[in-house]
A and B are shown apart, each in its own frame.
Chain A
Amino acid sequence: MSGIQEPFSEGNSLIHCLDPRGKIIIAGLFAVMVAVAKSMPAALVGLVLSLLCLALARLPLKKVILRLLVVNSFILILWLVLPLTYPGDAVLTFGPLSATRQGLIFTALITLKSNAIIIALMALVATVPVVTLGQAMHEMRFPDKLCHLLLFTYRYLYVFEQEFHRLVQAMKIRGFQPRTNLHTYRSYAYLAAMLLVRSYDRADRVFQAMLCRGFHGIFFSLRTFSWHRRDGVFVAAALLALGLLLYLEWWMPDLLVRIS
């Protein structure tokens, strides 16, 4: 069984049933708005909205938390650095270092915003199988090259994963054990180079096979999507919620805390 899986794309929740195009648009708008938000209320409401979507999508909680842990391990580094280096009023002092109020608030803001965006993307975009995502993007007139890059990458990711495992197994059965020495580094370098060369060759052969079937630079899509009433309702509700975000960001940025 392949290690590459899409556990979130399977399901029959309300969110799973929505037209992928609506979800992509809303997820995109939401991500941009939350990313540029500078105020605490907007970030908090963003997190609440994304949690709402997550609840509606009924995703397996354990896997969601695992993914969030990965993202938050990077954010942990920010918590170690930012409060100590951000200029402002000192609130905590550890020997020569001091954490500033502004630094703490700023780091909290980043934490809220990144979690809100990741959760929203999991609930809205990861609930669409990658293949459907590519087709929906094509339908939405995203640039052809982008859509096909996505679909091809996804298609051949499996092939390269298998190729990688074959190579690793070939190394293992001849007694290879990674250690901290030149032999190990060299072997890994060979492995990476071999994968690169093979994928280049494969790309060549795939293109040849496409030429043999009359490919002349244009892709045709067979997939059609249908827009239901529930999609209209979802997009309208989501736009209202985004309006609320905008309102909080513009008119009451200092509702909870003053940043500067």
Chain B
Amino acid sequence: MSEPLIELHDVTFAYPGAPHPVFQGLNYRLLPGKHVGLIGPNGCGKTTLLHLIMGLLRPQSGRIVIFGQEVKKEKDFVDVRQKVGLLFQNADDQLFCPTVIEDVAFGPLNQGKKPEEAVRIARETMERLGLQGFEDRVTYKLSGGEKKLVSLATVLAMRPQVLLLDEPTAGLDEKTKERLVHILKNLEITFMVVSHENHFLEHTVKECCHVHRSSCEFISIHQWRDSL
């Protein structure tokens, strides 16, 4: 069996001032090549789990191991973020550059790529997502669906090995959802997607993970569908 990409051991996390911890002694592992749907009611900690992996939140106790390395400090997470991409729930949080091409090239530039190289990668990524001709569009004037696809391009331009998606279909029309399904189906990297939409999950993932306070219960997509 291959090494897990992401492991959480005995992780406890509580938001400051909250009466109950979100996670208490949580264990979780993500194996390479898996496409996993994270499910569970609102507030069960799906987004929190993604933010813990990215180092945006720090657990009060427990260990997080990513690519076989234990990550603790900000410095460790800086390396994680080069290999793990997170698509935020709200595209307005993700897109901040004036034009689309600058936003997509932002990640590659941070990775130390030369401007020409960064622009080339950005164009390639956008082409792959069917976003040709968007280069000089102004990010805040895009429609909701376009913003979401451009956000995905900004994350994929960094060529991550793992992709985390936080409710990518929220607020999208059917056509854009279909496009997203198509993109994820053809994605060769490991990904985890938070979603409340059965139809979307059925088409993109093979197994789902029910997030609880102290455990993550994996079930196949069929089991899950039958349980509904």
Give which listed residue, A131, A218, A221, A223, contacts B138 with CB less than 8 A.
A131
* B180 close to chain A: CB less than 8 A: no
Q: How far is the CA of A221 from the CA of B97 in the complex (A)?
A: 10
Contact with A along B53-79 (1 / 0, CB 8 A): 010100000000000000000000010
A151-B98, A222-B115 given as contacts; is B93 within 8 A of A213 (CB)?
Answer: no
Instruction: Say which one of A59-67, A182-190, A203-211 lies at the interface with B.
Output: A203-211
Q: Collect the chain B residues with CB atoms within 8 Å of residue A216's CB.
A: 78, 110
Give which listed residue, A152, A159, A215, contacts B92 with CB less than 8 A.
A159
CB distance from A189 to the nearest CB of B (A): 24
Q: Collect the chain B residues with CB atoms within 8 Å of residue A211's CB.
A: 54, 56, 81
Q: Collect the chain A residues with CB atoms within 8 Å of residue B45's CB.
A: none
* B221 close to chain A: CB less than 8 A: no
* A212 close to chain B: CB less than 8 A: yes
Q: How far is the CA of A159 from the CA of B155 in the complex (A)?
A: 21
Q: Is the CB of A202 within 8 A of B93?
A: yes
Give which listed residue, B92, B98, B102, B158, contacts A213 with CB less than 8 A.
B158
Q: Collect the chain A residues with CB atoms within 8 Å of residue B118's CB.
A: 220, 222
* A134 close to chain B: CB less than 8 A: yes
CB distance from B177 to the nearest CB of A (A): 22
Give which listed residue, A151, A205, A206, A214, contacts B158 with CB less than 8 A.
A214
* B214 close to chain A: CB less than 8 A: no
Q: Is the CB of B92 within 8 A of A214?
A: no
Q: Is the CB of B101 within 8 A of A213?
A: no
Size category, B interface: 20 to 34
* A155 close to chain B: CB less than 8 A: yes
Q: How far is the CA of A2 from the CA of B77 in the complex (A)?
A: 38
Instruction: Say which one of B8-16, B83-91, B190-198 lies at the interface with A.
Output: B83-91
CB distance from B150 to the nearest CB of A (A): 13
For chain B residues 92-141, which have a beta carbon within 8 Å of chain A?
92-94, 96-99, 101-102, 105-107, 109-111, 115, 118-119, 138-140
* A225 close to chain B: CB less than 8 A: no
Q: Collect the chain A residues with CB atoms within 8 Å of residue B110's CB.
A: 213-216, 218, 220
Q: How far is the CA of A214 from the CA of B110 in the complex (A)?
A: 6
* A200 close to chain B: CB less than 8 A: no
Q: Collect the chain B residues with CB atoms within 8 Å of residue A158's CB.
A: 140
Q: Collect the chain A residues with CB atoms within 8 Å of residue B92's CB.
A: 159, 202
Chain A: CB-nearest residue to B107: A213
Q: Collect the chain B residues with CB atoms within 8 Å of residue A220's CB.
A: 105-106, 109-110, 115, 118
Q: How far is the CA of A156 from the CA of B140 in the complex (A)?
A: 8
Give which listed residue, A135, A210, A214, A222, contacts B96 with CB less than 8 A.
A210
* B154 close to chain A: CB less than 8 A: yes
Q: Is the CB of B98 within 8 A of A214?
A: no
CB distance from A137 to the nearest CB of B (A): 13
Q: Collect the chain A residues with CB atoms within 8 Å of residue B140's CB.
A: 155, 158-159
Q: Is the CB of A209 within 8 A of B88?
A: yes
* B82 close to chain A: CB less than 8 A: yes
Give which listed residue, B96, B102, B106, B158, contacts A152 with CB less than 8 A.
B96
Q: Is the CB of B78 within 8 A of A214?
A: yes
Q: Is the CB of A209 within 8 A of B105?
A: no
Q: How far is the CA of A220 from the CA of B105 in the complex (A)?
A: 9
Q: Is the CB of A205 within 8 A of B81?
A: no
Chain A: CB-nearest residue to B82: A214
Q: How far is the CA of A108 from the CA of B186 in the complex (A)?
A: 70
Q: Collect the chain A residues with CB atoms within 8 Å of residue B98's CB.
A: 131, 134-135, 151, 154-155
Q: How far is the CA of A154 from the CA of B96 in the complex (A)?
A: 10
CB distance from A122 to the nearest CB of B (A): 22
For chain B residues 150-177, which have a beta carbon within 8 Å of chain A?
154-155, 158
CB distance from A65 to the nearest CB of B (A): 28
Q: How far is the CA of A174 from the CA of B45 in the complex (A)?
A: 33
Chain A: CB-nearest residue to B74: A211
CB distance from B35 to the nearest CB of A (A): 20
Q: Collect the chain A residues with CB atoms within 8 Å of residue B106's CB.
A: 210, 213, 215, 220
11 residue pairs from A and B, CB less than 8 Å apart: A152-B96, A154-B98, A155-B140, A156-B96, A202-B93, A206-B93, A206-B96, A212-B155, A221-B102, A222-B102, A222-B119
Closest 4 CB pairs of A and B: A214-B110, A131-B98, A220-B109, A213-B107
Known pairs A214-B78, A214-B111 / 9 extra A-B pairs, C-beta < 8 Å:
A159-B92, A208-B54, A208-B93, A213-B158, A214-B82, A214-B110, A220-B118, A222-B115, A223-B102
